[in-house]
Structure 1
Amino acid sequence: MARINMEQLHTFLAVVRLGGVRKAAVALNVTQPAVTARIKNLEEMLACELFDRTATGMKLTKRGELLLSHAEKFEYLSQQVEKDVVDPAGVEDHLRLGVSETVAQSWLPDLVFRLHALYPKLEIEFNVDISINLRAGLLNREIDLAILLGPVSEFSVDNIELPGIDLGWYAAADAPECRDASAYLTRPVLTYARNTRPYRELKELLFERVGPAVSLFPSTSLSACFRLVEADLGVGALPRVLAQDYVAAGRIREFDPGWVPSPLRFSASYLGEPKSHLVETAAKQAFEVAVAYQGDKNA
């Protein structure tokens, strides 16, 4: 009799937890036919059907329920071996990383460098997007680790809160001087995309302090915001860690209208089940890198 392998059990658990072959294939980063073949081979080895297949989906049979309890125990033991025994240098795996643009432009390269130092054979695929899309990708298991404006308030998600990123007000270096700096805010204000928390909070603050006539120009690209501020087409509420180089080069300058929006709060978020020592390690590394980056910038 052929022996059951962990790949088959891992696939079986993914189909059970996600409710079907398609979602399991996305989560495992394989094709649907590959998932179907693994389940079929597993059923042939055990000489029984594990799922009742209906028009509404796949439901475990009684033998499938029995296998589930054993598979979860094997999974736990496998995770413990990976954590306690396996040399990270020998881990061959794939990490799907989703990050916001603020992170991508600041400490993402440092994180990738650290992960490759820990796991030389690790293949890292990363996607830069706005937080609402990263959250959806995480919950749909299209992303393993999301570094986004968080935390993600879902029972299935574990969050590691990262250091806050301060915002500042910026205008073009050659913008006309205003005796009252708050007058700058009557100009178009360039900032984060419309369907983000920073945009919503900034809009409320501007309506309260400047009035509903204020002009907000949201953008999904922080790089574009900095370029437009530099071209004196508006002012921006933008991350200080990214603005420092522009200020040092004399391209933009900071101004103080007497208030700034609250710092951006990011989290390294990942699904708690199934547990992955690799993903948990990557999330902890993200925290350490973010702390170190902030320390370097504030030094």
Structure 2
Amino acid sequence: MIKSQITLKQLEAFSFVVDMGTFRAAAGALGTTQPNISSRISALEAALNVTLLYRDAGSVRLTTKGKELLERTRDVLRAGEALLEAAGRQELIEERLRLGVTELVACTWLQSFLRQLRREYPNLRVELQVDLSRQIEERLREGQLDLALQNGPFTSRATGERTLSSETYVWVANEEVAKSLGGGESVGRFFKRAVLTHARHTTAGNALHELAKERGYDAGKIVHSSALSACLPMVSEGMGVALLPKSLVQGELDAGRLKLPNADWIAPPLAFFARFNADRAPRFIEKASDIAGNIRPPAKEDNKNL
């Protein structure tokens, strides 16, 4: 047996520097200092007797040998995780998961996801970011997030992507407003007052503006909110009719505080995904996406819409 002078921390530092682009960024991601990262990689290069990285001003580049050994490095790190999983010792995985979610996820099923994740990985540290889907997508692409639970559409594909169940939309109003709408099903009667919904460049927002254009409704009545939770008190106070995901308003509907007015149009379902960079993700990130998929499995109808 060959006595190894290589440690997992050294391999981890090498992988993170490549992924993050700088020693400073890798140190921040690993919760250590830049000199520590530099020391680990220097020790790794000395043990292997190769140069893995070119150190340029403010950035790093892989050498030819570094490119060759990078995937081997990732294989070793993933094998280490697999060993702990096979032994049933996931509590020894003391890593950080940088998780990005949309507000709808945060307001509905995030807690169920985090509880299951904690049962599987008790010592995993989760750093949560809640934002608009397009901002989450940008951070995932730049390597600032490890896993995104978000809705489409996307401007780029992630190498790891799992389809989750979609969110259906409903029209809601408080009891007083619902009565004032009268009979019929035309969405046009909603435009006699404020129409509350998602931020402007979302699937629902775009679809609503397209509908207004096609049918000649007053698009100036559409009130967008980047904070979905802010729409709930507004519609409850009678400020207008709202087009919102059903899961967000289900509690208010069950309690009778909001009503479902008849409508001849509804926005298409909001498709959700668990997304990560599979080419560089540790096993626990892929496992976390599996947990999301188990909590929110796609229905056959979802697959037809995607």
- When normalised by structure 1's length, the TM-score is 0.85
Would you say the 8 A contact 1:187–1:214 is kept in 2? no
**What is the aligned partner in structure 2 of residue 171 from structure 1?**
173
2:291 to 259, 274, 285: 285
Percent identity of the aligned residues? Answer: 32
Deviation at 1:76, TM superposition (A): 4.9
Deviates more, 1:4-13 or 1:264-273: 4-13
1:185 to 185, 191, 194: 191
Q: How does 1:180-219 map to 2 (within 5 A)?
A: 180-181=184-185, 182=187, 183-219=189-225
Aligned CA distance change for structure 1 residues 77 and 284 (closer, same or farther; 3 Å): closer
Distance in 1, Cα, partners of 2:206 & 2:280: 34
**What is the aligned partner in structure 1 of residue 55 from structure 2?**
53
Distance in 2, Cα, partners of 1:105 & 1:223: 8
Q: How does 1:123-272 map to 2 (within 5 A)?
A: 123-150=125-152, 152=154, 154-175=156-177, 176-181=180-185, 182=187, 183-272=189-278
Distance in 2, Cα, partners of 1:168 & 1:41: 59
Deviates more, 1:141-150 or 1:23-32: 23-32
Letter paired with 1:195: H
After superposition, the C-alpha distances for 1:256-278 in whole angstroms (9 at most, x for unaligned) are 22111111111011111223221
Deviation at 1:83, TM superposition (A): 4.8
Aligned CA distance change for structure 1 residues 250 and 80 (closer, same or farther; 3 Å): closer
Distance in 2, Cα, partners of 1:65 & 1:243: 50
Aligned CA distance change for structure 1 residues 230 and 163 (closer, same or farther; 3 Å): same
Aligned CA distance change for structure 1 residues 151 and 184 (closer, same or farther; 3 Å): closer
Q: How does 1:37-48 map to 2 (within 5 A)?
A: 37-46=39-48
**What is the aligned partner in structure 1 of residue 109 from structure 2?**
107
Distance in 2, Cα, partners of 1:89 & 1:54: 38
Distance in 1, Cα, partners of 2:297 & 2:56: 50
Letter paired with 2:248: L
Distance in 2, Cα, partners of 1:244 & 1:51: 54
Aligned CA distance change for structure 1 residues 155 and 226 (closer, same or farther; 3 Å): closer
Deviation at 1:38, TM superposition (A): 2.5
**What is the aligned partner in structure 1 of residue 303 from structure 2?**
none
Aligned CA distance change for structure 1 residues 66 and 132 (closer, same or farther; 3 Å): closer
Q: Which runs of 5+ in 1 are unaligned?
A: 293-299
Q: Which runs of 5+ in 2 are unaligned?
A: 299-306
After superposition, the C-alpha distances for 1:117-165 in whole angstroms (9 at most, x for unaligned) are 2222222222211101111121122221111013656454311111111
Deviation at 1:281, TM superposition (A): 1.3
Deviation at 1:15, TM superposition (A): 2.1
Aligned CA distance change for structure 1 residues 49 and 159 (closer, same or farther; 3 Å): closer
**What is the aligned partner in structure 1 of residue 99 from structure 2?**
97
Would you say the 8 A contact 2:20–2:143 is kept in 1? no
**What is the aligned partner in structure 2 of residue 295 from structure 1?**
none
Distance in 2, Cα, partners of 1:89 & 1:75: 16
Distance in 2, Cα, partners of 1:108 & 1:30: 29
**What is the aligned partner in structure 2 of residue 297 from structure 1?**
none
Distance in 1, Cα, partners of 2:61 & 2:181: 69
Distance in 2, Cα, partners of 1:110 & 1:19: 34
Deviation at 1:19, TM superposition (A): 3.4
Count of aligned pairs: 292
Aligned CA distance change for structure 1 residues 103 and 32 (closer, same or farther; 3 Å): same
Q: How does 1:54-93 map to 2 (within 5 A)?
A: 54-55=56-57, 57-61=59-63, 64-65=66-67, 67-68=69-70, 70-93=72-95
Deviates more, 1:63-72 or 1:212-221: 63-72
Would you say the 8 A contact 2:151–2:271 is kept in 1? yes
Distance in 1, Cα, partners of 2:71 & 2:159: 22
Distance in 2, Cα, partners of 1:211 & 1:177: 16
Counterpart secondary structure, 2:39 = helix
Distance in 1, Cα, partners of 2:71 & 2:265: 56
Distance in 2, Cα, partners of 1:247 & 1:62: 61
